[in-house]
Amino acid sequence: MTHFLSLADFTPKELRQILDLAINLKDEWKAGGNEPLLRNKVLAMVFQKPSLRTRVSFDMAMRHLGGDALFLSPSEIGLGKRESIADVSKVLSGFVDAIMARVFSHAHILELAKHANVPVINGLSDFNHPCQAMADALTMLEHHGDLSGLNMTYVGDGNNVAVSLMHLSAQLGINFTISSPEGYQIPEEVVIKARALRKNGAATLELNSDPHQAVQGANIIYTDTWTSMGQEQENQKRMEVFPPYQINSLLVSEAESDVIVMHCLPAHRGFEITDEVADGSHSVIFQQAENRMHAQKAILVHLLNKSH
């Protein structure tokens, strides 16, 4: 059974095939609509965390492709509380064609996949966010034409989004720099894995605590919220640590003139990113958001329509 749990599970060729499919499906949709490649297919969407982009983008992706999506709220499922994760996975496998889950613990995603007889898609966990990274890659392609050799600088918390971006960069030849404050760096095992994923050392990987130095030569600057869901008790401390890592006009001016600024949203404006940058000429944050739908169409077709 093929699942979509981590970009590290795929080869560079497979990731490029999914991205090519995303481009084609987006072009087709813009030209009048998608073919019903997933007719009579149903996606179960399991949520432990609130969502705007993940819920709507997956729902609309299925609709555009002729399928359907079923929203299951935290109170309806209660993963591991009301019912064991293994039982939920087995029951859903008998009803639907695929399961997408947005969870707190990555262990829950792995457990769902272990017991499922249908593909499981990681809609976000505390470890990584592979669907977001695929939408980001699509956005980068649209602006820069080629990913290989691009310089991406991620500024901020070494969180789940950063993990998937690092894996993506290692796989597709993007030079990746991450600038985080002491104590909030990306996990060491992620760095080790990313170095192993690099093909012939094609992509560079750098850890840097100085954001101004890190954005030198950057074609892409990426940031995310300083405090993720589930870390609310750390918020006050993080608000004291992260202000030097804000994406503002000064920082953007220190990168390449054609730099694009990315944020997976929701944005806490005035904190990790200023209004001036979020709404400015370098920002592609709303294009990124739309591309969640198109990238996820490609992931769904890749998993559910083997003839395509």
Rounded distance between C-alpha atoms, residue 133 and residue 295, angstroms = 9
pLDDT of residue 307: 61
The pLDDT of residue 80 is 67
Question: Are the C-beta atoms of residues 255 and 221 closer than 8 Å to each other?
Answer: yes
Look up the CATH number of domain 132-288: 3.40.50.1370
pLDDT at 43: 98
No. of H helices and E strands in the chain?
Answer: 13, 9
The reply to whether domains 7-129+292-304 and 132-288 share a CATH topology is: yes
Q: What is the pLDDT along the chain (308 residues), one digit of tens a residue?
A: 799 999 999 999 999 999 999 999 999 999 999 999 999 999 999 999 889 999 999 999 999 999 999 999 888 887 767 789 999 999 999 999 999 999 999 999 999 999 999 999 999 999 999 999 999 999 999 999 999 999 999 999 999 999 999 999 999 999 999 999 999 999 999 999 999 999 777 899 999 999 999 999 999 999 999 998 778 888 999 999 999 999 999 999 999 999 999 999 999 999 999 999 999 999 999 999 999 999 999 999 999 997 66
What are the boundaries of each domain within the chain? 7-129+292-304, 132-288
Cα dihedral sign, 67-125-21-282:
positive
Q: Which residues pair with 177 in a beta bridge?
A: 153, 206
Check: CB of residue 67 under 8 Å from CB of residue 296. Answer: no
Query: pTM of the entire structure?
Result: 0.96
Contact by Cβ (8 Å): 130, 164: yes
For residues 208 and 177, is the Cβ–Cβ distance under 8 A? yes
Class of domain 7-129+292-304: alpha beta
Assess contact for 190 and 160: CB atoms under 8 A.
no
Between CA 27 and CA 16 the distance in angstroms is 16
Q: Which residue carries 């991450």 as its tokens?
A: 178
- Catalytically active residues are 102, 129, 132, 224, 264, 292
Give which of 107, 71, 75, 123 is closest to 92, Cα–Cα: 71
